[in-house]
Every structure is written in C-alpha cells, then in structure tokens.
Chains A and B, each alone.
Chain A
Amino acid sequence: MKKVFALALTGALCLSLLAGCSSAASGSGSATAAAGELNLFAFGEMFPQEVLDGFTQETGIKVNYSTFDTDETMLSRLETSKGGDYDVVIADDYIIKTAIDEGLVSELDKDQIPNLGNVNPVYQGQFFDPEDKYTVPHGAGVMTIVYDPALVGKEITSYEDLWDASLADNLAIIGNYRVIDGMALKLMGESYNVEDPAVIQSAGEKLLELAPNIRAIQDANTQDLLISGEVAAAVMYTSQTYLAKINRSDLEIAYPSEGLGFGLMAQFVPVNAPNKDAAYQFINYLLDPEVSKQCFEYMGYYCTNQAAEELFDDATKELLVLPEDFLSSNDIEMIQPVSAEAEEAHMQVWTEFKSACGQ
C-alpha cells in the first residue's frame, strides 16, 4: 500500500518535471526540418523583421530564427546535432575556426551564391578561412573610442590619450579582456595576438596605470553611460558606438592611431544542414545590396558588403563604413585565438587590472 502511495507521489513529481521538459521543448521553438523552411541560427537582434519577411515573400521559404547568446553555446549546439538542425549559422571568427577544424562546416557551393562578388575583399581571406571556402562575412566589429568633447575638452586620437590623467574616473570600457589588454599591447607596438606571456605581463603593467581612469567595466549598454554623462569617454563595440552616435550626434568617434583590432562575423552552412538549397538562397539574399543595407543599419556593425556601401546616406555611411585609408593601412589586425598559456596570462592581467580599478 505504501508502495502505491510512494509510486503515486513519484509519479506526480515526474509529471511536474516532465511539464517542465515539454514546455521547454515547445518554448524553444525546436527547429525541425521540413520542405520550404530555413533554420537560421544567430545572435539575437541581428535581423529586422522586414528582411526575414522579405525572404519568405521572395522564395516562399519560412525562416525559423533561433538565437544564441554566446558563440560557445552555438558550438555546443552544433556539436550535439553533429552539424545538423541548422541551415545557416552566423557567428564570430574564432569560433568558426574551431567549427571548421571540427569538421562541422560544409564547403560553400559558390555557384549558388551569385551575389558573392558584393563582399568587400578586405574582409576576406582571414585566418579562420584563408581561402574563403566556408564562410561569407556578415559584419565587422571594430573597437573604437567614443568621447564627449564637452566633457573631455581636447581631442582624443590614440589609446595613449586614454591614459591621460585628465580622464580620471571618467572612462568606461567593455569587459572583453583581449580588447582591453590589446590596447596596452598596441601602445607598446605589439600585436594583439602576441603569444609571449612576458610581453602580455608587461602590457598588464601598462594597463595598471590606466586603472585610475576607469569608472565602469561593462559589456551591455556601455553606450548608455556615455549618453547619460556618467562618463566622458568609452571604449566600445561597434554596435554600441553606433547606438551612442544615433542618440547623441555631438559625441566624437576616434580611431586610435596605434591601430585597431577587429573581429568578423560570418555566415556558414553546417555540414549536415537539412535544407542546403534554402541556405544558399538565404545567403545570396542577404548579400543583395538593399537587404544588406537594411541589416547593417539594424545591427550597427561595419558593412562587409561593398555594393551596399553606396546606399547609405552620408551620416550613416560615416558610422557603418570604415574609412578607406584605414582599411588599406596595416594598422588593422584581427584578434585571433592564442595558446592556452597566453590566454592564461591575459586572464591574470585582466583580473589584476580589474581589482586595481576597484581600489
């Protein structure tokens, strides 16, 4: 009798757990392969609804847009599904390299992407895909300095200017340690991707001198600190720079003279994508200049589509297209994965820096 009772209660328990499972399954809008569908997997807020609707109108293919919040989540999903489930994935450079190395990415059939010629060649042939066999760039991110001229009182042109004592307690930075450590590396004339832990350590010492100027370290909504006047200058992601400028046109953007680190997002087709044809149609559609323009204006990343550049109005162009002379110079460098040893040195430098900021 007791057994029955215990069983009944265990049953009730299981039911409530199952309720959780089933609701989770239905909640995440699980992507199942069916004819006339496309499973898109990307960061959130990357596509305006018109762009997705436009594709459906043009081709009759329904777009299932699922999102991830970190590249690592994306990769583990892709590993679990053995490169299936999704048709088009958009992620950051370094993780794509890992995905390619693990054989999760299929080679592109370029004949099916007539618009491929629209891509700005500057962004092609990068470390993660030197022969452009697997990926199509979709947006570049550059770390820029944005400042409020009224509060700074002088022009900022370099990373060095950020170290100036006049910015004491007035600088906000993002929490990306490769970028922030990289500022010090650049100041020392080193590469972002330096492997020698000793060099990274000495960059760390340089970085400690910056600590008194740091008001906040924050990844999300960094631009709001600048907009609200909480800080006078900020080192931010491209999309945040874009939002800052849109909200306050009096803010100034500085491309530091020591050189910039940049990152790329790119699209790829997983090796076992259920709807490869639809995937190619979608990639091609996104490369259409007009569609590209809409996408970049929506997400605020630097435009990787040369054909779309002409379509922006002047003010937007200034924000979404990197200056010509900048791209041609050698001052622009991709941030690449480094060895575990160098990574550890970065983490130590970063931790030390953060606690120095709190003193």
Chain B
Amino acid sequence: MKNRTFLPNLFLGIVTVIFYLPIVLVVLYSFNENKLTSVWSGFSLKWYQMLFQDKAIFEALGNSIFLGICASVNAAVIGTLGAVGFTRIRSRSKGPVEYLSMLPIMIPEIILGMVFMAFFSLLGLPFGMTTLILSHTVFCIPYVYMLVKARLVGMDPGLVEAARDLGASDVRAFFDVTLPLLAPAIASGMLLSFAMSFDDVIISIFVTGVNVNTLPILIYSQLKVGVTPEINALCTLMLAATILLVALSAVLGRPRRSRHR
C-alpha cells in the first residue's frame, strides 16, 4: 500500500514545490539589500521602508481596493437577486440572458477588454474609475451568480413556503430565510469577485483612464524589467494579506479557487 501511494505523493509534492518556487523567490529578494536580483548582498528592510514612502504605489493600492469592493458589492446585489429570481421564474428570455451574463468568464479577457474600450468610447463615458467599476462588475457577476445558484439548488424550497405560510411577506421571507442560507455562498462569491478584480490586468488596461492606476497596471508597467525590489516588498505584503484572506474564506465557507485574471 505504501508503495502504491509513494510515487503519486512524490509527484504531488514536487509539483507543489515548483508552484511555490517563484513566489518564494519574490519574497526572498524583497529582503535583499542589493537592487539587482542577480546579487545577494545581505538582509535588509530598506525596500519596505521605501515602499511606505511611495505615494504612487499606495494610490494604486487604494484604487484597486476601492474598485474591488465596488465591483464585488455590485456583483453580489445583481448576481444574488438574479439567481434567486431565475430559480422561480419561467421565461423564454431566461436561457439567453443567463448565457449572456455568464459569457464574460468564458471568453478570453482580451475580447472583453476590446469591446469595453470600444463601447465606452462610443457612449462617450470618460475612462477612469467609473468604466473600471462597470467592466469589473460585468465579469464579477458570474462568480456570485453561479455560487448562489448552486447553493439554491441544494436548498429546500419548503423553508420559504413555510415562512410564507406563517404569514411572512415575500420580502420578509427573503431576508429572514433565504438570505441567511445564501450568505456563505454570497460571501465566497464576493471574495472571489474581489480577488478577480484585484488581480485583473487585461481588462483594466483597456478601460482605465489616464490618471487612474490600479495595482496590477502599475506592476505591469514596472515588470517589463527595471523592477525595483519595492515591488518584491509589496508582493510579500500582499501575499501575507492573501494568506489572511484565504484563511478568512476557509472560515467563512467552502474554499473556492480563483480563475486566472
């Protein structure tokens, strides 16, 4: 028995180590005193110091957090309501609309970026936070929708019926019965949405305005070489925050994983 699981487990172990290798290196070099990643010249926290003085990075971080919150809240409201409504509505347009609203996470992001850029300029919307929030909401809705829908499928419809029989209005029944039952799904949907929005490069590049940088856009422009270890330091801090977030989501509900953005 031991022999039969040894090789598979070795495989799992090796792949996992390779997963972590690039990340470990990024973290390691954030403590490197030297600017060049090819030279290790001693332990230092100076990049963290410099990071905290870098206004541009913090502005971008602020933008990204704000954007992530707005997009995930919007997605939570629209997605939850839509999923709840659709389980009880029969309409010919239901299928196509559901398909359309899921489309954003099925197609390559470059298409979304392209169409939003063209469409927003057709509408004459100024590129900036507004366009970012709109486009991020579009690709966050499917995550909330699908998770809530999955949860609704496993839910006993008798519960809502019972509440209504006891005299609760539709709204009461929704808030007192449905919503608490859906809460974990909504929460993990929002977390997932936030993570997607927070990590999005491709769509953001096309719809952002001149003076609005999100963190991924900032990192992308620096990544093309010429990266200062400040970015490593930032990554390390973000990684710490991520681990915190993952721990949080593990506590909140069934862990969900992210789709690459």
Contact = CB atoms under 8 A, between A and B. Distances in A.
Q: Do A and B bind each other?
A: yes
Interface of A: 1-2, 4-6, 9, 12-13, 16-17, 19-21, 23-24, 27-29, 66-69, 73, 76, 80, 218-221, 224-225, 228, 230
Interface stretch (B124-132, B192-200, B236-244): B124-132
B210 A1 contact: no
A1 to B, nearest CB: 5
Chain B binding surface SS class: helix
B211 A28 contact: yes
Given A9-B81, A13-B78, A76-B121, A228 B210 contact: no
Contact of A28 (B124, B209, B226): B209
Interface in B196-228: 209-212, 221, 224-226
B217 to A, nearest CB: 11
Interface size bracket, B side: 20 to 34
A184 B132 CA distance: 40
A1 B169 contact: yes
B155 interface: no
A225 B209 CA distance: 28
A53 B21 CA distance: 48
A67 B210 contact: yes
B74 interface: yes
A9 B209 CA distance: 29
Contacts of B126: 24, 28, 80
Q: Is the interface of A mostly helix, strand, loop or mixed?
A: helix
B76 to A, nearest CB: 10
Given A1-B169, A28-B209, A28-B211, A228 B133 contact: no
Contacts of A76: 121
Interface in B129-186: 129-130, 132-134, 169-171, 174
Contacts of A1: 169-171
Contacts of A5: 170-171, 174
A321 B124 CA distance: 42
Nearest to A70: B210
Contact of A16 (B74, B171, B209, B226): B74
Given A76-B121, A221-B224, A13 B36 contact: no
A221 B226 contact: yes
A28 to B, nearest CB: 5
Nearest to A23: B129
Given A1-B169, A5-B174, A67-B210, A17 B74 contact: yes
Contacts of A16: 70, 73-74, 133
B58 interface: no
B21 to A, nearest CB: 22
Contact of B36 (A12, A19, A228): A228
A2 B212 contact: no
B226 A27 contact: no
Nearest to B72: A16
A200 B70 CA distance: 49
B210 A218 contact: no
> Most B CB atoms within 10 A — which of A2, A4, A5, A219?
A5
Best-surrounded residue of B74, B130, B134, B212 (most CB of chain A within 10 A): B130
Contact of A218 (B63, B66, B211, B225): B225
A80 to B, nearest CB: 7
B125 to A, nearest CB: 10
A70 to B, nearest CB: 9
Contacts of A4: 171
B211 A27 contact: yes
Contacts of A29: 211
A228 B34 CA distance: 14
B144 to A, nearest CB: 13
A82 to B, nearest CB: 13
B210 to A, nearest CB: 5
Interface string B28-67: 0000000010000000000000000000000000010011
A94 B70 CA distance: 39
Contacts of A80: 124, 126
Contacts of A218: 224-225
A65 B188 CA distance: 42
A6 B170 CA distance: 11
B77 interface: yes
Closest 3 CB pairs of A and B: A24-B129, A224-B226, A20-B133
B164 to A, nearest CB: 12
A69 B210 CA distance: 6
Given A16-B73, A218-B225, A66 B133 contact: no
